[in-house]
Amino acid sequence: MIEPDASTDDLLEMAEQAPNLTYFAFAKNAVRQPAPAPTQASVGQLPQVLAGRYQLEGLLGAGGMGTVYRARDLLHEQYGEPSPYVAIKVLGEDVAAAPDASALLYSEFALTRHVRHDNVLRLYTFEVDQDSQLAFISMELMRGLTLDKLLCERPGGLPWNQLREIALPLLDALVCAHGRGVLHGDIKPSNVMLCDEGVRLFDFGLGQSEEGVLDGLPQLSRSRFNAWTPGYAAPELLDGQPLTSRADLFAVACVLYELAEGKHPFQRVPSNLAQAQGLHLSLRAPRHLPWYCWPALRAALSFDPQARSITAHQLRQAWHSRWAGARHWLGHVQVRRG
Ligand SMILES: Nc1ncnc2c1ncn2[C@@H]1O[C@H](COP(=O)(O)OP(=O)(O)OP(=O)(O)O)[C@@H](O)[C@H]1O
Ligand SMILES: [Mg+2]
């Protein structure tokens, strides 16, 4: 985990150690390392059945904030449900120790539910197990590959026809979230899954709602905690600025570039350091990306949030249609001439 004033060396070291993990820190008592991933054995430390209903069966994954288990919904099974499997998310031990940690989990639940889109993970319930006082979310069990695992299998990136089938639904999900006033805050390959049923964006744990949306929801103060994934957070987030839709655009653009090229656009160097090192100057269009997609993607990869004015909808349009992409291309040529 990263303290607000972590040094450059610290950032680089941590980015190398766990480039895909979210670093979560209550600012006052930041712990410097991500919690070790739990093993199958640690399932035994949790109640075997949560809320008298969800039988935990195995570990699905763990990140910087939470741990996700596969479970059987015994109630639905009792009524003959042929596929009673769900996923259960609980907070990791370090995070759960904070007094208002379950508000974090509830916020994730409420934000995700508010989006409601085919390409966003479906959440079922937020509950607290009475005996253990453990808060948890029950949700759709995804079967498939997260994009970080897909990239391991396809180190050279994906051809355009396959990339497009991931990029458009992912951007659809983001367009919908932003349209509903929800910011994701942590878009990265391990928070997107390519499932049997299609693409799913998930893990809104660092998300926020825009003013006037979900007003009753506790707003998590970034002056009190800091959380980000070094390789995907926009420079302004790393500099302590508030989350905006432009920061989501930067993150999704890093993911799309990585899928197209097989490599992260800035070698996963934290973006404020990449900016200082001038890495954007050597940025080239990914090899297999059609020409009309590049200007919009390049705009979304801008380090300066003022220059990154493209919306998720515009990026989606540019990738969907040659004509919309060509408009960005013309703008790009004019900017380069001017
Ligand atoms: N509904 C689900 N079905 C199947 N697997 C899931 C599900 N939800 C999460 N996972 C797996 O668990 C991993 C961790 O989940 P999640 O991203 O929600 O946790 P996190 O601690 O918030 O992660 P981060 O480090 O990104 O903050 C995912 O990358 C994925 O592999
Ligand atoms: Mg995650």
Residue span(s) of the chain under CATH 1.10.510.10 come to 144-335
The verdict on whether residue 149 carries a ligand-binding annotation is no
Please answer whether residues 217 and 174 qualify as being in contact, where contact means their C-beta atoms are separated by less than 8 angstroms. Answer: no
Task: Supply the pLDDT for residue 303.
Answer: 97
Of all atoms in ligand 1, which is nearest to the CA of residue 64? 25
Task: Supply the pLDDT for residue 30.
Answer: 35
Please answer whether residues 91 and 65 qualify as being in contact, where contact means their C-beta atoms are separated by less than 8 angstroms. Answer: yes
Q: Which fold has domain 144-335?
A: Transferase(Phosphotransferase); domain 1 (1.10.510)
pTM for this predicted structure: 0.86
Residue span(s) of the chain under CATH 3.30.200.20 come to 8-139
Query: Ligand 1: which of 148, 190, 194, 199 to mutate, judged by most atoms within 8 Å of the beta carbon?
Result: 190
- 8-139 under CATH 3.30.200.20, yes or no: yes
Query: Ligand 1: which of 202, 229, 255 to mutate, judged by most atoms within 8 Å of the beta carbon?
Result: 202
Q: Is 190 in the pocket of ligand 1 (CB under 6 A)?
A: yes
Please answer whether residues 148 and 191 qualify as being in contact, where contact means their C-beta atoms are separated by less than 8 angstroms. Answer: no
Kindly report the number of other CB atoms within 10 A of residue 325's CB atom: 21
> How far apart are the CA of 318 and the centre of ligand 2, in A?
28
Of all atoms in ligand 1, which is nearest to the CA of residue 141? 3
Q: Which of 65, 310, 306 is nearest to 174 (CA)?
A: 310
Q: Is 275 in the pocket of ligand 1 (CB under 6 A)?
A: no
Q: Whose C-alpha lies nearest to ligand 1, atom 4?
A: 142
Task: Supply the pLDDT for residue 223.
Answer: 53
pLDDT under 50: residue ranges of the chain: 1-12, 14-15, 24-44, 337-338
DSSP H helices, the chain, are 8-17, 74-78, 93-96, 101-115, 147-153, 160-179, 235-238, 245-261, 271-276, 294-300, 312-320, 322-337
Exposure string over 77-100, b if 16+ CB within 10 A, otherwise e: eeeeeeebebbbbbbbebbbeeee
Tell me which long-range contacts 11-15 makes (C-beta under 8 A, separation of at least 24). 11/230, 11/270, 11/273, 12/269, 12/270, 12/273, 14/230, 15/230, 15/231, 15/268, 15/269, 15/270
